[in-house]
Amino acid sequence: MVRGARQHNLKGVDLDLPKNKLIVFTGLSGSGKSSMAYDTIYAEGQRRYVESLSSYARQFLGVMDKPEVDRIDGLSPAISIDQKSGSNNPRSIVGTVTEIYDYLRLLFARVGHPHCPNCGEEITSLDAEQITRLMLRMAWKHELMAAKKGVKLLILAPVVRHQKGQFKELFKTLAKKGYSQIRVDGKILKLDDRVELIRTNFHNIEAVVDRIVIEPESVFEKNEEMGKQTKNRLFEAIEQALEISAGLVVMSVVGDNGLSFPESPVEMEDHLFSEKFACAKCNVSMPEIEPRMFSFNAPEGACPVCSGLGSKLVVKTELLLAESLTLDEGGIIPLAAQFETNTWMAKLIRQVALENGFDSKTAIKDLKDEQREILLYGTGKREYAVKGINSKGRETTWHTSFAGIIPELERRYTESSSEYVKTELEKYMVKEICPECHGYRLKPEALAVTILSASISEVTALSIENAREWMETVMSSLSEKEKTIAGPIVEEIMSRLKFLEAVGLDYLTLAREAGTLAGGELQRIRLASQIGSRLTGILYILDEPTIGLHERDNKRLIGTLRELQKLGNTLIVVEHDREMMMSADEIVEFGPGAGSQGGEITYQGDVNNMMKDTKSLTGMYLANKKKIEVSNESKVMDPEKIRLMGASEHNLKQVDVELPLNRMVCVTGVSGSGKSTLIVKTLYEALSRELNKRHKREQVNYESIMIPDRVKRVSLIDQSPIGRTPRSNPATYTKTFDYIRSLFAMTSEAKMRGYNQGRFSFNVKGGRCEACQGEGQTKIEMQFMADIYVKCEVCQGSRYNSPTLEVDYRGKNIAEVLEMTVDDAVEFFKGVPAISKRLKTLQDVGLGYIKLGQPAPTLSGGEAQRIKLAAELAKTGSGHTVYVLDEPTTGLHFEDLRKLLIVLHRLVKQDNTVVVIEHNLDMIKNADWIIDMGPEGGDKGGEILVAGNLNKIIECERSYTGQELKQII
């Protein structure tokens, strides 16, 4: 029971909601739906939770403002399942987000079968006798044996492996047992000395059990007694190490020069042996199989080449070199400035060229293959004498080797802590699959552990549907003992996989990076997690869960929500989808307009009565009394087309596609069928490579692309945020704020005070509030909850200091202007064309209700996308542009969708091409050309089923989109 809700544009709204029902909030964008659901009901639930914590905990969270509401009674614990984008960390994948990967690691650690990473043979445990023989064999074959007529070995017992702590008690225990030396993090130390470790760092500690010199095998054969003594001594050391380290022993080959055994060796080459697993054929021993061995986020499991990312940024020659230029003219693009100023690096490269038969005045294209190889990959350890003047003005000679341009740039990228340097170097780099692990992220030892002949990475590469089928076969193939161990683990994995299938995500692979998921997909993953938790008595608030879901799959999602409701929960769904609204127990419509014209409840009740209510805009659309009419304007197809050939990225099956120019093209198909892969990942990348020479390339698989000459640029208008901090807002992104600041700087008050345009910026010192540095709020990190932004206590959210706020334009200061909605600002600045023109584009895309200074983190993905579209509309004279939009109907009511269609068709009439990825049937039926993909998602998709006009799609029997369109036309 909500009484007197006045948050944002709500006008003292009273609302009674039934419990344990599926309730849909709908209405125009900006009408007050989210203000009621999230900023009032959910915010009050979160505030009450924080207030229930101890005063000690609350002091770290700051004061949370109470929503502007008189009272809320009967409020259940509230959980928000929104569309906020997930982690951009490439280490976060679907498997880790859903916790399935954690259970898989446990499963493989407990019932996996280890194999030799070299020969593939299944490996077994070793005893001390076998380890002794292996160590002797390795020592005799070691390269140092031939060079030094003997190999020095340290026998070490690993007592601590990658753990935090100071381990003072352990050191005392080892000393009591008679050990005099330990190796800590690769450094030999005496236990007599005081060993101080940093508690918060990870450490590796080994006890030095013995130091042994192994003579050549021929000496062993000649002097059997000496050989027997050495072997017995080695055996005893190994037994001792295995006993104190729970079955592990390290043989460290000492490479330090000198006849005697060094007291504290520096050069050591380690070989780990385990009495549990080892390959007798290849002399390869594996550590104990533990879950962390399968973690690509831990050094025990991560591939050492890519550090567990599965990919590497690699410098590409074609991006690095300007073939027609010489070295002196800037032929090595990132080092052009260094040749101009004749730095030491430039001098070194000139010297290398001189000593290898070419010079810096030869064009890159005229270099021989071997000279090009020297330039790019260096000359190994060979040294060059480079002469020059040092920083003290003295002539000096620098003796150095030349690693090559590519290794040098990759080294700089790895070692630099400067974001600027990394960003600059990334211009010459491309992300490629790691050559060592082939994208699987793990060490060979981890990949060699299998169940049913599949490694853990091969299982995560399966789609969720195929992973469930694989899991079903696992139990039947295990022994009785293994079934007892694996049973509870498999049960947890299966339940999560089934819930993900239930919300329409069966096409995703477990290895899919979380950063590549759409907001709707992430939201449905969170929804699946909530179903699995089996909580009851909860108020769930969802923000458009149908986004990214094909009409065919909506019924499955609605069934899932019903299951959550049947557990005894209440669901409030902010939604515009026709089928979701028709399925609701109760529907609440907000309106009648957006922004200041909204904030009222225009209808509350069941959907059937809503369709009879002529005052309900949503009801009129649901009853088909009001329609988004199909454009009847017949268009002759433009003979010019963009042709993309042989697209095979992800699940695409050698797709060839044609897109007619100067048309609105809609690409559709079931979720996971390959729409985004074809259009965003492949087509946009291919167009960008050809049309934008400064484009940062990505590795994408396609054969060729043909682009008509009239196409000048490509623009991707996606749902990524316009900024990640409160400093970004619609006014700054559309460049409107530049003109507003200029206008304030031209006022007589500003001129009298000597204020320039920069004074009215909240990003630089001068006019901004220094307490919050112009953000207007401070971020409180809530750890396991969403971050909270608290209003700055000094400027009270205005962002500026008092003197700046004393300057006004037509009675409003700069902070008050930022608080204006777009609709209000259009009227306020109607006499300033440079400002009103840009604001009008925001109005045209249905964003008249948002505030000019609304912080970027508070904007939804759909709003961010439409702001980008508005910024594009404001541009003029940029030539024929291909606009790529991914689900632009996100967050749009039927009426807002009608406005968006007008805008998109306007872009087409201005001699542009619009390519839209979309599931919304009203958007699809208004397209000039439709490409339907499928037939299913994941591996069962990746094909074009049909391409053509609306009638051709409807006639295609294989097309699910055609079947859905047939029902509404």
Provide DSSP, 615-674: T-HHHHHHTTSS--PPP----PPPS-EEEEEEE-STT--SEEEEEESSSEEEEEESTTSS
Considering only CA atoms, which of 520, 511, 562 is closest in space to residue 540?
Answer: 562
Question: E strands of 685-787, at which residues?
Answer: 704-706, 711-717, 777-780
Average pLDDT over residues 224-230: 88
The 10 Å Cβ neighbour count of residue 719 is 25
Per-position b or e across 33-50, b if 16+ CB within 10 A of its CB? bbbbbbbbbbbbbbbeeb
Contact call for residues 643 and 706 (beta carbons, < 8 A): yes
pLDDT beyond 90 at 945 = yes
pLDDT beyond 90 at 718 = no
CA separation for the pair 473, 454 (Å, rounded): 12
The predicted-structure confidence for 360-373, as pLDDT tens digits, reads as follows 888 888 899 899 99
Cα–Cα distances (Å) from 281 to 115, 134, 166, 863, in that order, read 12, 10, 40, 62
CA separation for the pair 94, 299 (Å, rounded): 21
Average pLDDT over residues 12-39: 92
Contact call for residues 98 and 494 (beta carbons, < 8 A): no
CA separation for the pair 306, 92 (Å, rounded): 15
Cα–Cα distances (Å) from 607 to 30, 588, 590, 612, 613, in that order, read 21, 9, 14, 9, 10
Phi and psi at 490, nearest 5°, equal -60, -40
Average pLDDT over residues 525-530: 83
Q: Which pLDDT belongs to residue 517?
A: 80
Q: In the Cβ-directed half-sphere of 112, how many Cα atoms lie within 13 Å? A: 27
Cα–Cα distances (Å) from 449 to 122, 467, 676, 743, 873, in that order, read 9, 17, 34, 68, 55
pLDDT beyond 60 at 631 = no
Contact call for residues 610 and 622 (beta carbons, < 8 A): yes
Considering only CA atoms, which of 663, 722, 683 is closest in space to residue 862?
Answer: 722
Considering only CA atoms, which of 598, 595, 599, 600 is closest in space to residue 827?
Answer: 595
How far from the centroid of its chain's Cα atoms is residue 807's Cα? 43
Considering only CA atoms, which of 957, 936, 641 is closest in space to residue 946?
Answer: 957
Q: Which two tokens stand for residue 733?
A: 């992104």
Q: Which distant-in-sequence residues (6+ apart) come within 8 Å of 208 by Cβ?
A: 154, 155, 156, 179, 180, 181, 182, 183, 188
Determine the topology of domain 128-274 in CATH. Ribulose 1,5 Bisphosphate Carboxylase/Oxygenase (3.30.190)
How far from the centroid of its chain's Cα atoms is residue 918's Cα? 22
Q: Residue holding tokens 């073939």? A: 323
Q: Is 199 left (phi over 0), alpha (psi -120 to 50) or beta?
A: alpha
- Ordered by start, the domain boundaries in the chain are 2-86+518-623, 128-274, 311-433, 630-721+859-968, 726-858
pLDDT beyond 60 at 786 = no
CA separation for the pair 794, 774 (Å, rounded): 11
Determine the topology of domain 311-433 in CATH. Helicase, Ruva Protein; domain 3 (1.10.8)
Angle, CA of 295, 298 and 304, to the nearest 5°: 100
pLDDT beyond 50 at 660 = yes
Contact call for residues 428 and 409 (beta carbons, < 8 A): yes
H or E stretch covering 202? strand 202-214
Average pLDDT over residues 119-129: 82
Q: What is the CA radius of gyration of the chain?
A: 34
Per-residue pLDDT band for 61 (boundaries 50, 70, 90) equals low
Q: Which two tokens stand for residue 145?
A: 């044996």
Q: Residue holding tokens 């079968």? A: 113
Average pLDDT over residues 203-213: 93
Average pLDDT over residues 305-326: 88
Contact call for residues 284 and 131 (beta carbons, < 8 A): no
Q: Which distant-in-sequence residues (6+ apart) come within 8 Å of 467 by Cβ?
A: 100, 459, 460, 497, 510
The predicted-structure confidence for 160-173, as pLDDT tens digits, reads as follows 988 889 998 999 99
Considering only CA atoms, which of 443, 497, 453 is closest in space to residue 103?
Answer: 497
SS3 718: coil
Considering only CA atoms, which of 599, 637, 632, 604 is closest in space to residue 618?
Answer: 604
Determine the topology of domain 2-86+518-623 in CATH. Rossmann fold (3.40.50)
Q: Residue holding tokens 């010459």? A: 428
SS3 185: coil
**Region 726-858: CATH code:** 1.20.1580.10
Considering only CA atoms, which of 82, 104, 83 is closest in space to residue 93?
Answer: 104
Per-residue pLDDT band for 638 (boundaries 50, 70, 90) equals low
Phi and psi at 498, nearest 5°, equal -65, -40
Amino acid at 97: V
Cα–Cα distances (Å) from 210 to 49, 112, 230, 234, 926, in that order, read 59, 34, 12, 8, 80
Angle between the 464-477 and 480-502 helix axes, to the nearest 10 degrees?
160
Average pLDDT over the chain reads 88
Q: Which two tokens stand for residue 8?
A: 């944002």
Q: Which pLDDT belongs to residue 64?
A: 65
pLDDT beyond 50 at 439 = yes
Q: Which pLDDT belongs to residue 258?
A: 81
Q: Terminus-to-terminus CA distance in the chain, angstroms?
A: 41
Among the residue ranges 60-74, 103-117, 414-428, the one predicted with the least confidence is 60-74
Q: Which pLDDT belongs to residue 788?
A: 66
Percent of the chain residues past pLDDT 90, beyond the cut: 45
**CB pairs under 8 A, 24+ apart, for 183-186?**
183/154, 183/156, 183/208, 183/252, 186/268
CA separation for the pair 392, 389 (Å, rounded): 8
Amino acid at 485: I
CA separation for the pair 26, 650 (Å, rounded): 36
The predicted-structure confidence for 241-287, as pLDDT tens digits, reads as follows 999 987 889 999 998 888 788 888 989 998 888 887 777 567 677 77
The predicted-structure confidence for 579-609, as pLDDT tens digits, reads as follows 999 999 999 999 898 877 889 999 999 999 9
With residues binned 3-state (H G I as helix, E B as strand, rest as coil), the percentages for the chain, rounded to 5, are: 40, 20, 40
Contact call for residues 449 and 455 (beta carbons, < 8 A): yes
CA separation for the pair 885, 254 (Å, rounded): 61
pLDDT beyond 80 at 902 = yes
How far from the centroid of its chain's Cα atoms is residue 866's Cα? 22
Per-residue pLDDT band for 143 (boundaries 50, 70, 90) equals confident
The predicted-structure confidence for 821-857, as pLDDT tens digits, reads as follows 999 999 999 989 999 999 999 988 888 888 999 888 7
Domains 2-86+518-623 and 128-274 share a fold: no
Amino acid at 561: L
Pairing of strands 539-543, 78-81: parallel
Per-residue pLDDT band for 632 (boundaries 50, 70, 90) equals very low
Amino acid at 558: I
Per-residue pLDDT band for 62 (boundaries 50, 70, 90) equals low
Q: Please state the length of the chain.
A: 969
773 or 573, higher pLDDT: 573
455 or 145, higher pLDDT: 455
Angle, CA of 926, 934 and 524, to the nearest 5°: 85
Contact call for residues 216 and 140 (beta carbons, < 8 A): yes
Q: Residue holding tokens 């077994």? A: 124
pLDDT beyond 90 at 810 = yes
Per-residue pLDDT band for 459 (boundaries 50, 70, 90) equals very high
Q: Does domain 630-721+859-968 have CATH number 3.40.50.1010?
A: no
The predicted-structure confidence for 479-509, as pLDDT tens digits, reads as follows 888 889 999 999 999 999 998 988 888 888 9
